[in-house]
Amino acid sequence: MTTATRQAEPEPAASAARVFPTGFTWGTATAAYQIEGAATLDGRTPSIWDTYSHTPGKVRNGDTGDVACDHYHRWREDVALMADLGVGAYRFSLSWPRIQPTGRGPAVQKGLDFYRRLVDELLEKGIQPVATLYHWDLPQELEDAGGWPERRTADRFAEYATLAADALGDRVQTWTTLNEPWCSAFLGYGSGVHAPGRTDQVAALRAAHHLNLAHGKAVQALRAALPSDARTSITLNVHHVRPLTDSAADRDAARRIDAVANRVFTGPLLHGEYPADLLRDTAHLTDWSFVRDGDAALAKQPLDFLGVNYYSPTLVSAASEEASHNSDGHGKSAYSPWPGADQVAFHQPPGATTAMGWAVDPSGMYDLLLRLHTDFPDLPLIITENGAAFDDYVDPSGEVRDPDRISYLHGHLTAVHRAIEAGVDVRGYFLWSLLDNFEWGYGYSKRFGAVYVDYPTGKRTPKASAGWYSEVARTGTIPVTDPTAG
């Protein structure tokens, strides 16, 4: 090929790239109960997820987290996988019942040692640890004492935060209090498709409030125990709620879901008060007298960033004949996870879906980031989870080819990049997940990993998407066009 011909060609692929800002954090994420296993080792006692998964009929195939990915023993190999990926950060969660088995009293040294070793190995490989205090594994003893619907659980959580910060604060700089409190409150106590499996709408609202309170108290505890340059945050699965039509009834349906999915948390956490429309929508259920003076203000603590988990948008309308109130892709239940919004119907957004049945719609990511920026202009954002499950398998040549995941990631990272271009302060992106793992009520049937896990042997095989994401993390760049297209 002559030079002249080459000049006549369209732009080479390398220049047709989206370049992320310098310093943008590229990471992967996991959660303790989903990967660790070793459920009864070294003093760990059952969490609500141990109890729930061991209850017949709760989790698909009767799967439990007893062994999971055996990360408790294979952590060194898993950190090496991350180093191979070239990611700069790892978001993981601490298992509360491994550190403080009964949810009260002193910490168990062996539990702390596990996380200290893990963090040291990460730091050694140049990977920044991002610790989440609570990714849904409440010590069962605290549930037996009333769980999140009870106020004292918030006090226990703040004590646990102090233990964790005292033990790890010298080496973990970035902390998240809660992961997706919406799921803890409304799936755990409302629809019952998550542990502890209760189905009581008032208990769900009480749980939401005590999670907000727990967050506020934990941020205070963390700040008291951590060096001044530590960063604290919370991760919300902010729902991007769209009305089916522009009718007043459909817009009101979207408002109701936005209130009980999002503003029940962002109200107190970021504005220091509960939204008036949420209190109205739920007035037939409770007078909210469990909220004491000063609680919402206490929940509002300075945050260094907001963690955002996004997978798919939520499409709603006013209910017609039969309301599919319990939809939204979190599992079927006769009970609603949406107090105050029973007359809302959920719809499947158009287009392709993942193995979860969740719509693939990167525009939801873009719109959500723009909305968060409008609502909270001074708050930096980090995508703490995004990813997709597909029916992956190891092919005869030993490879796992997952073009659908690459396409999903490309689409969503393009949306993140466009949001940054539009002025949204997004600082990082964590791919869910490093490994295939225990996907809660779906057990091991859904694979979200960049790395395939063969559960009988524990063998890890990086998927094609791991190679793709590794290139992205190393270069901070994605191609403009979908690399799997055409």
Half-sphere exposure (Cβ direction) of 290: Cα atoms closer than 13 Å: 21
Stretch that binds ligand FCB, among 245-253, 419-427, 432-440, 478-486 (CB under 6 A): 432-440
Radius of gyration of the chain (CA): 22
Give yes or no: 180 in active site.
Answer: yes
Which member of 385, 421, 439, 471 is catalytic?
385
User: By CB under 6 A, is residue 436 in contact with ligand FCB?
Assistant: no
* Nearby residues of 198 by Cβ (< 8 Å), 6 or more positions away: 147, 188, 189, 192
**Closest to 158 (Cα-Cα) out of 119, 209, 112, 213:** 213
Closer to ligand FCB by Cβ: residue 115 or 432: 432
Closest of 121, 214, 216, 108 to residue 172, by C-alpha? 121
Q: Indicate the residue among 114 and 311 with the shorter CB distance to ligand FCB.
A: 311
> What is the rounded CA–CA span in Å between residue 327 and residue 350?
15
Among residues 24, 52, 408, 448, the one that binds ligand FCB under rule CB under 6 A: 448
Contacts with ligand FCB, 281-310, as mask; x by CB under 6 A: ----------------------------x-
Length of the chain measured in residues:
486
Say if residue 362 is preceded by a cis peptide, omega within 30 of 0: no
Nearer to ligand FCB, 239 or 255 (CB): 239
- Asked if residue 237 binds ligand FCB (CB under 6 A), the reply is yes
Residue 133 binds ligand FCB, judged by CB under 6 A: no
Told to check if 439 binds ligand FCB by CB under 6 A, we report yes
Show Cβ contacts of residue 64 under 8 Å, excluding neighbours closer than 6 positions.
39, 50, 53, 54, 438
Among 250, 252, 281, 385, binds ligand FCB (CB under 6 A): 385
Looking at residue 41, the DSSP 8-state letter turns out to be G
Q: Please tell me which residue in 11, 180, 321, 421 is annotated as part of the active site.
A: 180
State how far the Cα of 137 lies from the Cα of 180, in Å rounded to an integer.
Answer: 12
Q: Is 336 in the site for ligand FCB (CB under 6 A)?
A: no
Tell me if 450 sits within 8 A of 29, measured CB to CB: no
The residue range among 179-187, 319-327, 345-353, 406-414 that interacts with ligand FCB, by the rule CB under 6 A, is 179-187
Residue 425 lies near ligand FCB (rule: CB under 6 A): no
Q: Specify whether 385 is catalytic.
A: yes
Residue (179 or 314) nearer to ligand FCB, CB: 179
User: Is 328 a binder of ligand FCB (CB under 6 A)?
Assistant: no
Min separation Cβ 441 and ligand FCB, Å = 9
> Cβ–Cβ contacts within 10 Å for residue 209, how many?
25
- Rounded CA-CA distance 30/82 in Å is 12
Active site residues: 180, 385
Q: Which residues bind ligand FCB (CB under 6 A)?
A: 31, 34, 179-180, 183, 237, 309, 385, 432, 439-440, 448
